[in-house]
Amino acid sequence: MAIDSKGARAVLLPDATVSRTGARLTLHRLLHSPSALISSGWLTLLVLVAVILPPLVETAANRQDLSLRLLPPFSLDNGPMFILGADGLGRPELLQLIVGTRTSLLVAASAVAIAAVIGFAIGLISGYFGGWVDEVLMRIADIMHTIPSLLLALAVLYVLQPSIANLIIVLAITRIPVYLRVARAQALELRERVFVESSRAVGAGDWRILRTDLAPMVLPTIRTVAMLEVASVLLAAAGLSFLGIGLQRPDVDWGMMVADGRPYLATAWWVTVFPGLVIVLTALAANLLSNWLRAAEDPSQAARFIRRPRMRKAAR
């Protein structure tokens, strides 16, 4: 019987059931928040585009046709792929954007993931064990904080040569301290708690405590920070390729496309404006969604999701 097995599981695995209803609750709330719904829709669309389309359109995207140089947008005379016009070498803007979507999303997602995993692991270990390793790591994090991130990226990319992999590495390195600080601060506080002490009392070793006691407690915070970081990493990556040190042709991303349009700013605005607009929309969607998710998963803000009569100012 379905009901029986469900009930049994609830008794055996209370945590799993709670998190499942939690996820369902989040989904339920998502359907009632227009901005979060639109944001996740836009991001899903971009991911689908990035996965499916680039292999199909790559050749057409890079075909240069000087007779179509700086073709104005919003005209179907040359086929739907020129709906957003053409750039300074006669390449269709729309298809370039599609290929660029793959690069931009890949770079932002990988950089965030790598930085989060490394920062999480090092921060946890550093905070838990303390000592001189912790001291050295925090000094390094301080140093990285003193160097403006763009300067660090400039220097490293200049050494490594522009490429997608190196861009990801540089962005990940500059972002590790963010997670490292968060994870360390939490580990520092959690290691004094009673449940850690009791684990140790029943014979758990350091690594076991790190894995089963600390990591699950710190992970949600790291996830929240990572969500927040997606938009800023996206912007940072675009900035580096705009400066011409992030990528090299034939790779292309949105920031590079903005840079490509710069010489024609006065005569062909669309080459500059469209890729930037896509960056704004994507960063905004990521920001809105992470903001909403943070509020939706925070019990102390649960009141925001319940419709209620307007509160009086003083009531608190």
The residue ranges that bind other proteins (CB under 8 A) are 35, 139-140, 142-143, 145-151, 154-156, 158-159, 231-232, 235, 238-239, 242-243, 255, 258, 261-262, 265-266, 269, 272-273, 275-276, 279-280, 283-284, 286-288, 291, 304, 310, 313-314, 316
Report the alpha-carbon distance of residue 92 to residue 115 in Å, rounded.
35
Query: 23-29, long-range: CB within 8 Å, 24+ apart, which pairs?
Result: 26/293, 26/296, 26/297, 29/296, 29/305
Instruction: Name which of 23 and 151 has its Cβ closer to other proteins.
Output: 151
Give CA–CA dist 33/211, Å, rounded.
Answer: 36
Q: Measured from the CB atom, is 249 or 313 closer to other proteins?
A: 313
Nearer to other proteins, 82 or 274 (CB): 274
Range 270-276 contact pairs with CB under 8 angstroms and sequence separation of 24 or more: 270/72, 270/73, 270/84, 270/85, 270/93, 271/70, 271/85, 271/87, 271/88, 271/93, 274/73, 274/84, 274/85, 274/93, 274/97, 275/97, 275/100
Q: Give min distance, CB of 18 to other proteins, in A.
A: 27
At its nearest, how many Å lie between other proteins and the CB of residue 223?
19
- The amino acid present at 134, given as its one-letter code, is D
A 10 A CB-CB count for 223 gives 16
**Is the Cα dihedral 14, 19, 25, 27 positive or negative?**
negative
Work out how close the CB of 173 gets to other proteins at its nearest, in angstroms, rounded to a whole number.
12
Question: Least CB distance from residue 199 to other proteins, whole Å?
Answer: 31
- CB 316 to other proteins: min, Å: 6
Residue corresponding to tokens 């695995």: 13
As measured in angstroms, the least distance from the Cβ of 242 to other proteins is: 5
The smaller minimum CB distance to other proteins, of residues 217 and 243, is found at: 243
What is the smallest separation between the CB atom of 238 and other proteins, expressed in angstroms?
Answer: 5
CB-nearer residue toward other proteins: 143 or 165 = 143
**Tokens linked to 112:** 């965030």
Q: Which CB sits closer to other proteins, 126 or 241?
A: 241
Q: How far is the CB of 262 from other proteins (least distance, A)?
A: 6
How many Å apart are CA 218 and CA 199, to the nearest integer? 17
Query: Which CB sits closer to other proteins, 124 or 178?
Result: 178
Q: List the structure tokens of 22.
A: 């939690």
Scanning the chain, the segments in alpha helix (DSSP H) are 2-12, 14-30, 34-52, 54-62, 93-129, 131-146, 149-160, 164-190, 194-201, 206-208, 215-242, 254-261, 269-296
Cβ proximity to other proteins, 107 vs 196, nearer residue:
107
| Residue with smaller CB distance to other proteins, 159 or 194 | 159
Q: Least separation, in Å, of the C-beta of 122 and other proteins?
A: 18
